[in-house]
């Protein structure tokens, strides 16, 4: 096992993104809370440290302090935003609180330095701060500045201490990943040694240590995440795993058959399909609130598994394909609840199983890479993300068999036309939404008052942020004409051009 790059979290919005960028560069990374950092430094023997941003002001009463072990360790260290303030405060720099604030894209001017080796002198970076380092500590030199901030980056090459005021981990910062690479390779003198195979080995080892000789059920939803989780756990415990696919009637056209074929023919493992369509429709009858939908679906999933486990006897573990974005949006860590994912915030307090979540610390692109390495077929691994609650959150308002059929038919047209045009591969997600509104129209010589469907397409790298997809107008026209012509209950089609944020990818 590689010694980790330890990401010390001070309550940052982007802590997991930092760890992900480090792994992309070929270095194993782990995140620890600032309060556990000293023990982690001793026990995990990291190769380098990265101090994250955070919501506090270093000079405020009760602010999170720099762990003693950071400087005592003598390890190469990079401070980001709040992490830069911590280093400056601890080593004798000068901080200004609240005098200069920068938020969003900012122009940065750089000097010759380790961090900016091979990069242009002028870069656009992403700022989000209220405090500022106005003078670097002894031994440091300022190597980057903005119009408002004289010390936007600093380094002490001899002590291998580096810091930036901005966020190199986000896509909005030009060449941010190259800055992290410069820190790890040139500043810390490290060589990449972390691969997808290592990630699989680590996950398999953790699963075996948790499950031991027990038996586990895996919740197959039809999406990439649960498929990869099933393959990982099957590699770890073999036929002690049983894959349960709950056909709840909330899936896309032909999806149930695709999932069954995937795990009985393409990648065979112990598999059982449960028809629960009637139960889920009854449980969702009349429910309009999106949060309540998600929570009910979560409870019905667990009830279904619990009943099946009692019938089978001996299955005490439940495997889920929970990803890090699911945890964040459901209020994990210090984040606000954006929407409860059925497999996180939607779970009842007492589920009757011990959860196994081998993907909980991963982003979607990492999961796909693991799936490919495990040998899962492309039609399972390369599929676009699909929400656990399925079409229930793409039917705005109350869910019924009729409204699901409308959404499913419109979605199939969107998918078919995008794939025919060769545009699907360029998008992160694409689907139709039954918006819950009606619109007056004219068909033939008569007045209509039919449903409105929204087409939603987005581009993204990880699902945490997203931009709306720019599609050719003739393609949009073709999709809209087909939906109105072929789905009799639809009278109008609109195109959603909202990014995330401020919106979310799904409508509910």
Q: Which contacts qualify for 465-473: CB closer than 8 Å, 24 or more apart?
A: 465/171, 465/499, 465/500, 465/501, 466/428, 466/429, 466/499, 466/500, 466/505, 467/499, 467/500, 468/496, 468/497, 468/498, 468/499, 469/423, 469/426, 469/427, 469/430, 471/423, 471/495, 472/421, 472/423
Q: What is the pLDDT of residues 194-226, one digit of tens each?
A: 888 888 998 999 999 999 999 999 988 778 898
Q: What is the pLDDT of residue 180?
A: 98
- Which residues of the chain form CATH 3.40.50.880? 5-187
**H/E/C letters for each residue in 203-215?**
HHHHHHHHHCCCE
Supply the pLDDT for residue 331. 43
Mean pLDDT of 239-250: 93
- The predicted pLDDT at position 341 comes to 42
Q: Is 234 one of the annotated active-site residues of the chain?
A: no
Which of 102, 155, 169, 451 is the catalytic position?
169
Q: How confident is the model at residue 234 (pLDDT cuts 50, 70, 90)?
A: very high
Which class is 5-187 in CATH?
Answer: alpha beta
**In which region does residue 455 sit, left (phi positive, over 0), alpha (psi from -120 to 50) or beta (all else)?**
beta
Question: Which ranges in the chain are annotated with CATH 3.30.300.10?
Answer: 394-496
Average pLDDT over residues 257-263: 90
Which of the residues 81, 85, 234, 508 is marked catalytic?
81
Give the mean model confidence (pLDDT) for residues 13-40.
90
Q: Is 167 a catalytic residue?
A: yes
In the CATH hierarchy, which fold is given to the domain comprising 394-496?
A: GMP Synthetase; Chain A, domain 3 (3.30.300)
Per-residue pLDDT reduced to its tens digit, 433-467: 999 999 999 887 788 999 999 999 999 877 777 89
Whether pTM > 0.75 for this model: the answer is no
* pLDDT for residue 249 is more than 90: yes
What's the angle, vertex CA 111, arms to CA 108 and CA 117, rounded to 5? Answer: 100
As its CATH architecture, domain 196-381 has 3-Layer(aba) Sandwich (3.40)
Strand order of the β-sheet with 271-275 is: 271-275, 241-247, 215-220, 315-319, 354-356
pLDDT at 338 over 50: no
For residues 91-111, give the mean pLDDT.
Answer: 83
Strands (E), 279-395: 315-319, 354-356
Question: Does the pLDDT at position 79 exceed 90?
Answer: yes
Active-site choice (34, 167, 234, 450): 167
Q: At residue 354, what are phi and psi to the nearest 5 degrees?
A: -90, 125
The residues of the chain that CATH labels 3.40.50.620 are: 196-381
What mean pLDDT do residues 149-169 have?
96
């Amino acid at each position: 096992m590689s010694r980790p790059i330890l990401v010390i979290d001070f309550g940052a919005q982007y802590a997991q993104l930092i760890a992900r960028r480090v792994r992309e560069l070929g270095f194993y990374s782990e995140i620890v809370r600032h309060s556990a950092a000293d023990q982690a430094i001793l026990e995990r023997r990291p190769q380098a440290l990265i101090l994250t941003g955070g919501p506090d002001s270093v000079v405020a009463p009760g602010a999170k302090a720099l762990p003693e072990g950071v400087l005592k360790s003598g390890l190469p260290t990079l401070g980001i935003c709040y992490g830069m303030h911590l280093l400056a405060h601890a080593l004798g720099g000068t901080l200004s609180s609240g005098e200069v604030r920068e938020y969003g894209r900012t122009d940065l001017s750089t000097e010759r330095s380790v961090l900016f080796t091979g990069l242009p002198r002028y870069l656009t970076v992403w700022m989000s701060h209220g405090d500022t380092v106005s003078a670097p500590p002894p031994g440091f030199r300022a190597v980057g500045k903005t119009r408002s901030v004289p010390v936007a980056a600093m380094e002490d090459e001899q002590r291998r201490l580096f810091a930036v005021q901005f966020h190199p981990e986000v896509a909005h910062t030009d060449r941010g990943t190259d800055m992290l690479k410069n820190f790890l390779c040139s500043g810390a003198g490290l060589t990449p040694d972390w691969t997808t195979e290592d990630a699989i080995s680590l996950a398999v080892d953790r699963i075996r240590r948790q499950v031991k000789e027990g038996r586990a059920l895996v919740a197959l939803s039809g999406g990439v995440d649960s498929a990869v989780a099933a393959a990982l756990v099957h590699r770890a415990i073999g036929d002690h795993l049983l894959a349960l696919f709950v056909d709840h009637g909330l899936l896309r056209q032909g999806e149930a058959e695709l999932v069954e074929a995937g795990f009985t023919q393409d990648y065979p493992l112990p598999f059982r399909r449960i028809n629960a369509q009637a139960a889920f429709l009854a449980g969702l009858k009349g429910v309009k609130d999106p949060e309540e939908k998600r929570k009910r679906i979560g409870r019905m999933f667990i009830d279904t598994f619990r009943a099946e486990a009692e019938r089978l006897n001996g299955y005490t573990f439940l495997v889920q394909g929970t990803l890090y974005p699911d945890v964040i949006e459901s209020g994990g860590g210090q984040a606000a609840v954006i929407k409860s994912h059925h497999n996180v915030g939607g779970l009842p307090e007492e589920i009757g199983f011990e959860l196994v979540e081998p993907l909980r610390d991963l982003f979607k692109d990492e999961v796909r890479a693991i799936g490919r390495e495990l040998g899962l077929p492309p039609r399972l691994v390369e599929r676009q993300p699909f929400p656990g609650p399925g079409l229930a959150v793409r039917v705005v308002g109350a869910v019924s068999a009729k409204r699901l059929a409308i959404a499913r038919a419109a979605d199939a047209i969107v998918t078919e036309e995008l794939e025919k045009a060769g545009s699907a591969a360029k998008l992160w997600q694409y689907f139709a939404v039954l918006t819950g509104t009606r619109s007056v129209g004219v068909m033939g010589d008569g007045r209509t008052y039919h449903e409105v469907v929204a087409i939603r397409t987005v581009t993204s790298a990880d699902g945490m942020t997203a931009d709306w997809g720019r599609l050719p107008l003739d393609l949009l026209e073709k999709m809209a004409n087909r939906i109105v012509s072929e789905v009799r209950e639809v009278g109008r089609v609109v195109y959603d051009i909202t990014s995330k944020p401020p919106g979310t990818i799904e409508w509910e």
